[in-house]
């Protein structure tokens, strides 16, 4: 009985050892597989990291290069379109000029001059709202931009908002003093404010501004400054100074006629001189200076005859006969 029991127990021990060996081999295989997987994952992440870093570096270089190229291109585009728009505006192609200047502005690198030029182009097309927006944009960004204030003053004059125009001219004068622009001259600015004061019937203010304009050494004297100051003098009853100013206006015109290059320009200047002679004659007549009035009318008649202006000739002859 013991022998049978011994024989039955032995196979169980043998089976157990085999199972243990099998289990050990499985564990070793599992560990080996885990190690391989572990190192594979490490190598994978290392490779992925270098790949990502490489892509990022490459992308950074590419983007940096592209950004540089785009920036240069945009800057060049803004400059080119500005010059093109300016040339077209000078040539009279206003609508095409607006398109080019708008392209320059849309690039995001346009300066104040581009907005000012487009505003001036809009004014020529009577698009006053857009012109005002452009001038306001410049003034908001640069409160001492004299050209923007001056252009807005001209715009307000067209809109017949003379008080707003005077405010802009005042700001123009202040800005021109603080930050002079070569495009503007103090002589012209005072003359423009004098004109506004004349329209507002601020006679004394107009006379002061015209006098300041004439006292400035810069720029060219316009006959209109003398003639318009003469109107202001006439309004306050100062006929003598008005007559002197009309004579000065005629003198300037005679100088301009000598330098005129076209017949149309000479005729336009001659017509102005003729009208000033007639106004001077009326003032001389008001002062009782009959001889001076007659001399003025005769000069006016001579100009009318040279221009073959029969209507003016008949009118002046009638005035002479009345004398």
What pLDDT was estimated at residue 62? 33
More confident residue, 109 or 13: 109
Say whether pLDDT at 162 is over 70. yes
What pLDDT was estimated at residue 219? 83
Among 10-24, 92-106, 217-231, 286-300, the range scoring the smallest mean pLDDT is 10-24
pLDDT, tens digit (0-9, with 9 covering 90-100), for 39-94: 444 444 444 444 443 443 333 323 333 343 445 455 557 789 999 999 999 999 99
Compute the average pLDDT of residues 203-217: 97
Q: In degrees, to the nearest 5, what angle opens at C-alpha 83 toward C-alphas 77 and 88?
A: 120
Mean pLDDT estimate for the chain? 84
Angle, in degrees to the nearest 10, between helices 128-141 and 146-158: 150
Compute the average pLDDT of residues 255-269: 95
Instruction: Give the number of C-alpha atoms closer than 13 A to the C-alpha of residue 213, restricted to the C-beta side.
Output: 25
Distance CA 200, CA 161 (A): 11
Neighbours of 35 (CB within 10 A): 10
Say whether pLDDT at 131 is over 90. yes
Say whether pLDDT at 2 is over 70. no
**pTM score:** 0.74
pLDDT, tens digit (0-9, with 9 covering 90-100), for 93-119: 999 999 999 999 998 888 999 999 999
Domains and CATH numbers, the chain: 189-323 (1.25.40.10)
What pLDDT was estimated at residue 75? 54
């Amino acid at each position: 009985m013991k022998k049978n029991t011994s024989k039955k127990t032995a196979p169980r021990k043998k089976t157990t050892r085999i199972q243990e060996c099998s289990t050990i081999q499985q564990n070793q295989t599992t560990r080996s597989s885990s190690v391989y997987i572990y190192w594979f994952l490490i190598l994978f992440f290392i490779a992925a990291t270098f790949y990502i870093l490489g892509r990022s570096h490459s992308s950074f270089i590419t983007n940096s290069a592209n950004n540089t190229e785009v920036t240069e291109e945009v800057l060049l585009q803004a400059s080119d379109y500005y010059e093109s728009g300016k040339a077209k505006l000078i040539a009279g192609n206003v609508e095409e000029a607006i398109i080019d200047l708008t392209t320059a502005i849309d690039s995001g690198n346009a300066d104040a001059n581009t907005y000012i030029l487009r505003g001036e182009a809009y004014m020529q097309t009577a698009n006053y709202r857009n012109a005002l927006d452009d001038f306001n944009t410049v003034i908001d960004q640069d409160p001492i931009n004299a050209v923007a204030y001056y252009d807005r003053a001209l715009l307000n004059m067209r809109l017949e908002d003379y008080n707003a125009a005077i405010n802009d001219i005042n700001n123009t004068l202040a800005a021109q003093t603080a930050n002079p622009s070569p495009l503007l001259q103090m002589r012209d600015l005072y003359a423009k404010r004098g004109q506004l004061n004349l329209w507002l019937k601020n006679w004394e203010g107009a006379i002061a501004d015209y006098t300041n304009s004439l006292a400035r050494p810069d720029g060219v004297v316009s006959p209109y400054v003398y003639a318009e100051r003469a109107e202001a003098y006439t309004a306050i009853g100062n006929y003598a100074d008005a007559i002197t100013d009309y004579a000065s206006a005629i003198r300037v015109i005679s100088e301009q006629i000598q330098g005129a290059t076209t017949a149309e320009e000479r005729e336009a200047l001659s017509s102005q001189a003729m009208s000033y002679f007639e106004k001077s004659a009326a003032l001389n007549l008001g002062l009782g200076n009959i001889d001076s009035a007659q001399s003025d009318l005769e000069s006016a008649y001579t100009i009318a005859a040279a221009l073959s202006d029969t209507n003016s000739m008949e009118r002046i002859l009638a005035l002479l006969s009345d004398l």
